């Protein structure tokens, strides 16, 4: 029974990952074409950054890259990546935004507290003002590199992006703000990938309540209210049959207890129950809220590596902090294996396994949710691709005819994945906890 | 052209990690304290209650079946006793009837015997009476006859008496 379940899960996971990858690979082609189309002719500039971008043909309206506010051809890949990304402000409709608090820290400047409304965003989430050196580009906060601009509010005319070669020789996208006709280079927020994924530590850190943080808070509050109501009902209706919301919540709790915790952890399951339940409902809640295609849903929270990383690290910490002697003995010095073999193979593999287990937890959840969102976004993009971004009505109709059933199918599948991934994360956490507290077998 | 760097969801961000950790830890704490604890406790309690009720029902059922078996045993015993009593009663009845019959028969026999005796006695008395009467009549007749022949009364009587003794009936 369990093996069939595992097989099905594996099948769904690999299918999703494949569709996600296929989609990603497919996206690159039109983008390249679009990129080239947007760079029809060169134009010399006087900014120092021009030297770096000299090999790239520049956009028509801007001196240091192609303009972000200029209308360009619809690009499904860019669109999908933009929509699954975190953002500092939530786009509602047209030029309306749900503004969120910004908590920014630059070592050279200290803390800055503001709201995204300070940037006066109007189009594509691009702000028209800078605030103490910060600007809003595609609803993401960036920082002007020029220290002379790090105070007060300055009008920003436009934003540009250009492809440059980084210090490591890898190409990357850099952004500029056009202030007083000058191209001012921008820094993205610091990330902890050490430059492996094109990020790295920059001049500032963003601790803002972003779209993802906002969604997390909303989900947590909703879940707490629902569970509090169910808990109150449980206490108040003691000795009576469960009813209503309580009757909806309790089967989930008993499911986690009887199907996940008890069989995998064994007699010591009770102390892990709060974590397993929390992680299950946290992931499930975020997955489901992320499926709602409009505000306050649609945020791709569990499809963001930072979030899955945090959860996986917690599983890692709990596993290793509650592990018993037996577990450590088996990890570090496997009994019944020759010492040479232990030192050369077994112990390194086991130690690697300690890290790999939570690593797979992190990747699995992230990849499934991100892939699902990207496939849905790609299917929705069909309408715009077929309709030539609103130029062809007949094409749009054909696009809708193709898009609606495909999107519907994907959304249904995603609903399943939402439950499945929450279950898998919880299940595997329980398996790791179970291994950590397993008592030695007496044969 | 898209680069890996544009795919921001795979870059671990300190801000997001900080908030996720804070929110999740808070969620974990609040939920385990105010939601999961009462829910799991009430679930456990309810399960125990249900188990208890089921056990009790099972026990009651067992007791009931025990009781029923006992009842049946008692009933069977009672039935047997009834049959025994009936049998005894029948025997007693038969005995009484037989005794009564016997007694009645004896009485009847005794009554018949006494009646026969009576009849015999009566018959004897009647015979004696008849003999006396016949003797008297014979005497009277003889007297009348003899009266004519025997004028002397004592002589006459002696003669009659000798005559009566000669005609004694057997």
DSSP code at position A269: G
Distance CA A301, CA A315 (A): 18
Assess: ipTM above 0.90: no
pLDDT at A19: 41
- Beta-carbon separation of B5 and A173 below 8 A: yes
Give the 3-state DSSP-derived string for chain B, with helices as H, strands as E and coil as C.
Answer: CCCHHHCHHHCCCHHHHHHHHHHHHHHHHHHHHHHHHHHHHHHHHHHHHHHHHHHHHHHHHHHHHHHHHHHHHHHHHHHHHHHHHHHHHHHHHHHHHHHHHHHHHHHHHHHHHHHHHHHHHHHHHHHHHHHHHHHHHHHHHHHHHHHHHCCCHHHHHHHHHHHHHHCCCC
CB–CB contact B3 A170 (8 Å): yes
pLDDT of residue A401: 84
Which of B6, B28, B37 is closest, CB to CB, to A81?
Answer: B6
Q: Check residue B151 and give its pLDDT.
A: 65
Q: Is A173 on the interface with B (CB under 8 A)?
A: yes
Q: Choose, out of A310, A315, A365, the residue to mutate when testing the contact with B (most B CBs < 10 Å).
A: A310
Q: Hey, are the CB atoms on B28 and A275 less than 8 Å from each other?
A: yes
The pLDDT value given to residue A172: 77
Chain B residues whose CB is inside 8 A of the A77 CB are 2
Contact between A197 and B21 using a beta-carbon 8 Å cutoff: no
C-alpha A434/C-alpha A393 separation (Å) is 58
Q: Extract the residue ranges of chain A whose pLDDT is less than 70.
A: 1-63, 71-72, 166-168, 389-390, 442-443
What pLDDT is stored for residue A75 in this prediction? Answer: 77
User: Is there a contact between B38 and A234 if contact means CB atoms under 8 Å apart?
Assistant: yes
Is B32 an interface residue toward A (CB < 8 Å)?
A: yes
What burial letters (b/e) apply to A57-85, b meaning 16+ CB within 10 Å?
ebbeebbbbbbbbeebebbbbbbbbbbbb
* CB pair distance less than 8 Å for B3 and A303: no
pLDDT at residue A71, as a whole number: 66
Q: For residue range B10-36, what is the model confidence (pLDDT) as tens digits?
A: 888 899 999 999 999 999 999 999 989
Cβ pair B11:A78 closer than 8 A: no
CB contact, 8 Å: B18 with chain A? yes
Q: Which among A77, A220, A235 has the least Cβ separation from residue B2?
A: A77
The pLDDT of residue B128 is: 85
Give pTM, 2 decimals: 0.74
B31–A223 CB contact, under 8 Å: yes
Report percent pLDDT > 90 for chain B.
Answer: 39
Question: Given this model, what pLDDT does residue A120 score?
Answer: 83
**CB of A314 within 8 Å of any CB in chain B?**
yes
Name the residue among B16, B35, B36 with its Cβ closest to that of A306: B16
**B19 contacts A228? CB cut-off 8 A:** no
Cβ-nearest to B24 among A197, A206, A310: A310
Q: Classify residue A50 as exposed, middle or buried by CB count within 10 Å of its CB (0-12, 13-18, 19+).
A: middle
Whether the CB of B31 is below 8 Å from some CB of chain A: the reply is yes
> Is B53 within 8 Å of chain A by CB?
no
CB-CB under 8 Å, B5 with A172: yes
Q: What pLDDT does A35 receive?
A: 36
**Distance between A347 CA and the closest CA of chain B, angstroms:** 29
Total Cβ atoms within 10 A of residue B167: 10
Q: Is the pLDDT of residue B139 over 70?
A: yes
Residues of B within 8 A of A27 (CB-CB) are 2
Partner residue opposite A216 with nearest CB, options B23, B42, B46 = B23
Question: In this structure, are residues A47 and A63 in contact, taking their beta carbons and an 8 Å threshold?
Answer: yes
Lowest pLDDT segment from A83-92, A314-323, B74-83, B136-145: B136-145
């Amino acid at each position: 029974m369990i093996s069939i379940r595992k097989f099905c899960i594996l099948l769904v996971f690999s299918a999703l990952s494949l569709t996600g990858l296929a989609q990603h690979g497919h996206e690159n082609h039109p983008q390249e074409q679009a990129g080239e189309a947007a760079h029809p002719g060169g134009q010399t500039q006087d900014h120092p950054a021009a030297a770096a971008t000299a090999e790239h043909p520049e956009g028509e309206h801007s001196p240091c890259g192609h303009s972000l506010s200029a209308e360009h051809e619809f690009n499904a890949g860019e669109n999908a990546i933009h929509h699954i990304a975190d953002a500092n402000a939530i786009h509602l409709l047209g030029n309306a935004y749900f503004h969120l608090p910004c908590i920014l820290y630059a070592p050279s400047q200290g803390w800055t507290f503001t709201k995204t409304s300070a940037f006066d965003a109007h189009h594509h989430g691009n702000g028209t003002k800078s605030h103490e050196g910060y600007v809003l580009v595609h609803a993401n906060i960036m920082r002007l590199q020029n220290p002379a601009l790090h105070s007060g509010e300055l009008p920003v005319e436009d934003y540009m992006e250009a492809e440059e070669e980084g210090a490591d020789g890898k190409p990357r996208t850099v952004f500029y703000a056009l202030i007083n006709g000058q191209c001012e280079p921008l820094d993205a927020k610091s990330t902890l990938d050490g430059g492996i994924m094109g990020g790295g530590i920059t001049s500032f850190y963003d601790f803002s309540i972003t779209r993802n943080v906002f969604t997390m808070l909303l989900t947590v509050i909703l879940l707490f209210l629902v569970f509090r109501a169910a808990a109150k009902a449980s206490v108040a209706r003691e000795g009576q049959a469960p009813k209503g919301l309580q009757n909806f919540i309790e089967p989930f709790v008993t499911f986690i207890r009887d199907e996940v915790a008890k069989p995998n952890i064994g007699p010591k399951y009770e102390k892990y129950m709060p974590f397993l339940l929390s992680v299950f409902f946290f992931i499930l809640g975020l997955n489901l809220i992320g499926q709602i295609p409009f505000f306050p849903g649609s945020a791709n929270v569990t499809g963001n590596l930072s979030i899955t990383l945090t959860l996986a690290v917690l599983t890692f910490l709990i596993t290793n902090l509650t592990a018993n002697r037996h577990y450590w003995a088996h990890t570090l010095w496997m009994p019944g294996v020759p010492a040479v073999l232990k030192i050369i193979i077994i112990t390194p593999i086991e130690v690697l396994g300690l890290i790999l287990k939570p690593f797979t937890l992190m990747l699995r959840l992230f990849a499934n949710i991100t892939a699902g969102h990207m496939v849905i976004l790609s299917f929705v993009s069909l309408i715009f691709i077929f309709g030539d971004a609103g130029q062809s009505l007949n094409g749009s109709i054909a696009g809708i005819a193709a898009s609606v059933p495909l999107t519907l199918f994907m959304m249904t599948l995603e609903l399943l994945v939402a439950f499945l991934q929450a279950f898998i994360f919880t299940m595997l956490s329980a398996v790791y906890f179970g291994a950590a507290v397993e008592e030695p077998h007496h044969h | 052209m898209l680069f890996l760097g544009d795919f921001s969801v795979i870059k671990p961000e300190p801000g997001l990690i900080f908030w996720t950790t804070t929110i999740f830890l808070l969620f974990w704490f609040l939920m385990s304290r105010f939601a999961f604890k009462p829910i799991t406790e009430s679930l456990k309690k309810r399960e125990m209650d249900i188990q208890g009720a089921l056990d009790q029902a099972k026990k009651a059922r067992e007791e009931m079946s025990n009781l029923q078996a006992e009842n049946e045993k008692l009933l069977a015993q009672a039935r047997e006793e009834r049959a025994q009593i009936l049998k005894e009663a029948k025997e007693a009845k038969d005995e009484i009837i037989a005794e009564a019959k016997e007694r009645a028969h004896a009485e009847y026999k005794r009554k018949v015997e006494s009646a026969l005796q009576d009849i015999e006695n009566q018959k004897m008395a009647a015979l004696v009476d008849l003999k006396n009467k016949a003797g008297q009549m014979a005497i009277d007749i003889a007297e009348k006859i003899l009266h004519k022949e025997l004028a002397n009364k004592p002589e006459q009587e002696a003669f009659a008496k000798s005559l009566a003794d000669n005609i004694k009936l057997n």
